[in-house]
Amino acid sequence: MAVNNCFALLLSLCCALCFFNTIVGAKGVKCRTPRREYGNCVPILECRSLRILSVKVNRTCRETKLLKESYCGPYNFSYKVCCPREEIKSILIYRDKEERTRRGKADKGILPTTEECGTLTLSNRIYGGTETDIDEYPWIALILLRNEGDKDNFFLRCSGSLINEYFVVTAAHCFNQTSLSDVLVRLGEWNLNTDHGCNKNRCELPLQEKEIDAIIKHPQYKEKSMDNDVALLRIKNGVKFTENVQPICLPIDYSQRDNSYEKQQAVISGWGGTENEVYSPIKLKTTVHIIPVVQKQRKGKKVRYYCNHVLISNSKMCATGEDHDSCPADSGGPLMITENVNGRTNWYLIGIISYSGLEQKCGSENSIGIYARVGSFIDWIVHAIKNT
């Protein structure tokens, strides 16, 4: 009887509050939580405390009431909740397309929606150590450094991934006392030997080669251990999204941030050294397998993390391929996976190529690639692009 009374109370409360909360917060505006805290109306997957509560098996009547009273409108096949502001943090960086258009490009800290980032193409269905098609992975950026012996020429230093009109995410170790004027970012590249390469009756669109006005290294980057090997490049005046220049999605949903993606297949792509230690003029792609990370702890000692006996930090991940890992010229490039989040499938950047974990030659059979796990750095990335 008590359960039925509780359910009836919740149902009536839900009906009474639904209209009010929808008016207050359906567009992500300010709202008050049932506990009278200041909050914002966001999809429930973006509010950690309520998301955890929503899947709890043995919720109390009070917890169920809190969940119901936090409702503030529908969202695709789910719903929104009034989430306390301290939990919002980076989530507010995502905007509806209408909000994005209203604010304009002046706000460099806005990340694209899943309608705009990580777009799949038919070409993406073909895997293996093969050449990419012209329009595959249009977020991969070439990072060029000025040649000290010839100031008018630049050489390929690293790769990176475009995450919005103004920022490329890459590896911190690519830059050591580097002057901003010595760096160029090139997007839309496919064939390094020509500006108008063609494949399957399709030809390259014009490249976008841009100067940068900021290099932002992670403040805890450690050169010796390569921990926190993440950096952001801010593109001067931004880029224009075209068929061959588009951003990749970041794993910003809380269901993705702590996901290790162990034993799953992922994709790497770039122009890096092949098994013959020769750079490819054509952008290549291959699949890799993500290696499980094992925790070990001796009595009285800190927990240590290993993949195939390689010691790593808990913000790293490892992957290996049948005949490739990743090579030095691919440093900073993407480890990518397709994932369905909230009913939509996109490419997500889950790792940043950092270094090779074993003494074997780069790209040799069973060598291990070590990657910065992007989910560990989402809060820092979001804060950096909003405040730089």
- Which residue in this structure is represented by tokens 């669109």? 205
Residue 53 CB partners (closer than 8 Å, separation 6+): 59, 63, 66, 67
* Strands of the 304-307 sheet, one edge to the other: 294-296, 304-307, 310-312
Distance between CA atoms of residues 17 and 10, nearest Å: 10
Tell me whether residue 331 is one of the annotated catalytic residues. Answer: yes
Torsions phi, psi for 358 (to 5 deg): -125, 175
Q: Which of 229, 253, 325, 330 is catalytic?
A: 229
- Residue 348 one-letter amino acid: Y
Distance between CA atoms of residues 388 and 385, nearest Å: 6
Could you please report the per-residue DSSP string of 236-304?
A: TT----BTTB-PPBP--SHHHHT---TT-EEEEEES-B-TTS-B-SB-EEEEEEEEPPEEE--TTS--E
Write down the number of H helices and E strands in the chain.
Answer: 7, 22
**Tokens found for residue 229:** 């090997």
Distance between CA atoms of residues 40 and 42, nearest Å: 6
Distances (CA, A) of 364 to 243, 288, 318, 330: 34, 13, 15, 15
Torsions phi, psi for 387 (to 5 deg): -120, 10
Q: Which of 90, 135, 173, 218 is catalytic?
A: 173
Tell me whether residue 173 is one of the annotated catalytic residues. Answer: yes
* Whole-angstrom Cα Rg for the chain: 23
Burial class (CB in 10 A: 0-12, 13-18, 19+), 115: exposed
- Which residue in this structure is represented by tokens 């900021």? 214
Contact assessment for residue 228 and residue 218, using Cβ atoms and an 8 Å cutoff: yes
Q: Which of 70, 331, 354, 367 is catalytic?
A: 331
Q: Which residues are catalytic?
A: 173, 229, 331
